Amino acid sequence: MSDNNVFTRAARGTHLLDESALDNAPAMPVRATGPLDAVLPWVIEFRVVGTASTMQMRVTEHMTIGRADPERGIVPAVDLGPHNGYALGVSRQHAAILASGNSIHVKDTGSANGTRLNGCLLEPHREYRLRHGDELALGQLKLQVLFAVVPLVTDSRRLPDDDKPIPRLGSGQRVLVVEDDADVAAVFGMILEQAGFRVRVVSTAASALGAIAADAPQAVVLDLMLPDINGLDLVHYLRQAERGFNAPLVVVSGQTGGFLMSEALKAGADVFLGKPIGVSELIGAFTTILPQMTP
């Protein structure tokens, strides 16, 4: 994952987030990254190519992709039946997603119509590495694979540290997470609570405004894709209100284009995080804004 996914607002423009402060932060004795049976899971999104359909879920160690057949007791974790799976040649137990350590793999389980990864036919029962942005074709049904949250950031300049605990940054400061995807919100909540913050989660902009009015948080984590209004409009409203909301705003988005990032920072966001988001990136953002989180 590239550090280009993380940007902060500065007096003279935008710069890369400096995560050097993480090395000196006091640590909690909590295992927070590494294998999928640990505290923090991956969150993965499948987008059905050519449609508006998406499926987002936490990844387990072994997930079957196929078509449900209740009469035979077959219920895959990722059911493509409702997405015209039968007509497009998806088998009942077509393929499997496997999580191992800090990577995710896919394997064809002997399907009738084959599985392709970025156009290449997979050898049955052999595992292949799955990465953010890959295209997975099961028969004729194509899925774009996107990671929303990953257990850690893999940086080519340093070795992954599976056992590195989450540093305890906070002392009970209130953080509001505005995220309509329950899995993503739950993982954000786990990370921030282990980092020493008190977290409240809401799923809409309207609920966020109510939570801020009732008990103003000392920081907000805000997804730009909300079901009621665009997250950018919420950022504008909070910053431009008569009694402007001055607490730090951490904006997250699956769309990492320069224009959107620039608009979010100009609207008043303090940090922009592009998905997929790693634990160290979220903690790095809070290391940066911690001095602004006044009681």
Residue 278: closest CA among 130, 185, 150, 167: 150
Contact status, residue 46 vs residue 144, Cβ threshold 8 Å: yes
Contacts 24+ apart (CB under 8 A), 78-87: 78/46, 80/138, 80/141, 83/48, 83/51, 83/53, 83/141, 84/141, 85/138, 85/139, 85/141
**For residue 40, what pLDDT is reported?**
61
Ranges of each domain in the chain: 3-33+158-292, 43-150
Q: Quote the CA–CA distance of 99 and 151 in Å, as a whole number.
A: 11
pTM across the whole model: 0.69
Q: Domain 3-33+158-292 is classified in which CATH homologous superfamily?
A: Response regulator (3.40.50.2300)
The two domains 3-33+158-292 and 43-150 share their CATH topology (first three levels equal): no
Whether residue 120 has pLDDT greater than 90 = yes
Q: Which two tokens stand for residue 143?
A: 């899925």
Residue 175: closest CA among 227, 216, 223, 210: 216
Whether residue 42 has pLDDT greater than 70 = yes
Q: Quote the CA–CA distance of 175 and 283 in Å, as a whole number.
A: 13
- The mean-pLDDT minimum among 54-63, 136-145, 196-205 falls in 54-63
**For residue 162, what pLDDT is reported?**
42
Residue 277: closest CA among 103, 148, 190, 182: 148
Question: Confidence class of residue 295 from pLDDT cuts 50, 70 and 90?
Answer: low
In the CATH hierarchy, which fold is given to the domain comprising 43-150?
Answer: Tumour Suppressor Smad4 (2.60.200)
Contact status, residue 142 vs residue 151, Cβ threshold 8 Å: no
Q: What is the pLDDT of residues 65-94, one digit of tens each?
A: 999 999 999 999 999 999 999 999 999 999
What average pLDDT does range 251-263 have in this prediction?
Answer: 78
Contacts 24+ apart (CB under 8 A), 87-93: 88/138, 88/139, 88/140, 88/141, 89/113, 89/138, 89/139, 89/140, 89/141, 90/66, 90/138, 90/139, 90/141, 91/66, 91/67, 91/138, 91/139, 92/66, 92/67, 92/68, 93/64, 93/66
